[in-house]
Amino acid sequence: MEPFLLKELVERSLAEDLSYGDRTTEALFHRPIPAVGEILAKGDLVVAGLDVFQTVFELLDPTIRIEAHLAAGQKAKPGDSIGSVCGDGRLLLKGERTALNFLQRLSGVATLTRRFVDQVAGSGARIVDTRKTTPGLRMLEKEAVRLGGGWNHRFHLGDLVLIKDNHIALAGGVANALKEARASLSHPFKIEVEATALSEVQEAIQGGAEIILLDNMSLPQIKEAVELIRKSAPGVKIEVSGGVRLDNVASIAGCGVDMISVGALTHSAPAVDISLEIKKGRSAVGGLPSA
């Protein structure tokens, strides 16, 4: 996400917490306190969102300094230091919750993605995300998926044409839908079609779909569909969705599909546990003018 856009998103989030000041910090501290905050992993996780964490504090005070001890996409174990932040302790306290809310959530997405990716390692199948993202955080969550080793599907409804069950119901079948799409779609965009039965797979091939999404099929159905597509339409990409879990994703990958999309990566990833431990003092990285 470009910094000028991230800044706007973070400002809105900070405003949720700070529009009426910080009653606690303002009641307790009346002048700057040199302080250092250590960002500590309290579980196994993949780091994502450190740039957002940094933006939170830069917006509160440009003199605050962040030092990253782990790069985005790296793994952390319980007790690992992810990084540190150094500056006026009052601003560390004001930004702490907002900064952690982003970091814990995005690292949660990256961590869950990595677990799925690890399950299909060596299979040639890619784990991909969906548009089932948190309202307002789509770009950040899609980046966290990439950091976890996943691939991105559509970013928004203006990307490729994806003809799903509800479109098919209103268009009167896969063949009709594909014909309409072909007639009016300009060249930069691809067409993907969802199929829930072998008959729809065939219609999709005949209609010229570039990607076929096998939705909610059983493993035998998936295998049969893959065989059909590879034989009659070798250039077509195959994606699977629906009911994908950590305990069955490897079997699905074993069917020889190209992509497996998992809504849970973004809609149900639990936050990972990360804390910020703040102490008086100055770190080597600087921040807080000496005066």
Binding residues among 57-116 for its own copies as defined by CB under 8 A:
59-61, 89, 92-94, 96-98, 100-102, 104-105, 108
Tell me if residue 132 is catalytic: yes
Size of residue set near its own copies by CB under 8 A: 103
Between residues 136 and 251, which has the closer beta carbon with respect to its own copies? 136
What order of strands is seen across the sheet that includes strand 237-241?
A: 126-128, 259-261, 237-241, 211-215, 191-195, 161-163
Residue 214's H or E segment, with its range, is: strand 211-215
Closest contact distance (angstroms) between CB of 225 and its own copies is: 17
Which residue among 138, 164, 223, 282 is the active-site one?
164
Closest contact distance (angstroms) between CB of 154 and its own copies is: 6
The footprint of its own copies on residues 146-175 (CB under 8 A) is 151-164, 166-167, 169-171
Name the DSSP letter for residue 78.
T
Between residues 60 and 110, which has the closer beta carbon with respect to its own copies? 60
Give the Cα-Cα-Cα angle 246, 247, 249 (nearest 5 degrees): 65
Which residue among 143, 192, 200, 215 is the active-site one?
215
Tell me if residue 143 is catalytic: no
Please report how the helices 3-18 and 89-119 are oriented relative to each other, as an axis angle in degrees rounded to 10: 120
Tell me if residue 194 is catalytic: yes
Dihedral (Cα; 138, 140, 144, 150), 10-degree rounding: 40
Between residues 51 and 96, which has the closer beta carbon with respect to its own copies? 96
Judged by CB under 8 A, which of 211, 229, 240, 260 binds its own copies?
Answer: 211
The footprint of its own copies on residues 23-52 (CB under 8 A) is 23-29, 33, 35, 37
Are residues 287 and 91 in contact, defined by beta-carbon separation less than 8 angstroms?
no
Residue 260's H or E segment, with its range, is: strand 259-261
Between residues 35 and 50, which has the closer beta carbon with respect to its own copies? 35
Q: By three-state DSSP, how is residue 217 classified?
A: coil
Q: Which residues are catalytic?
A: 97, 132, 164, 194, 215
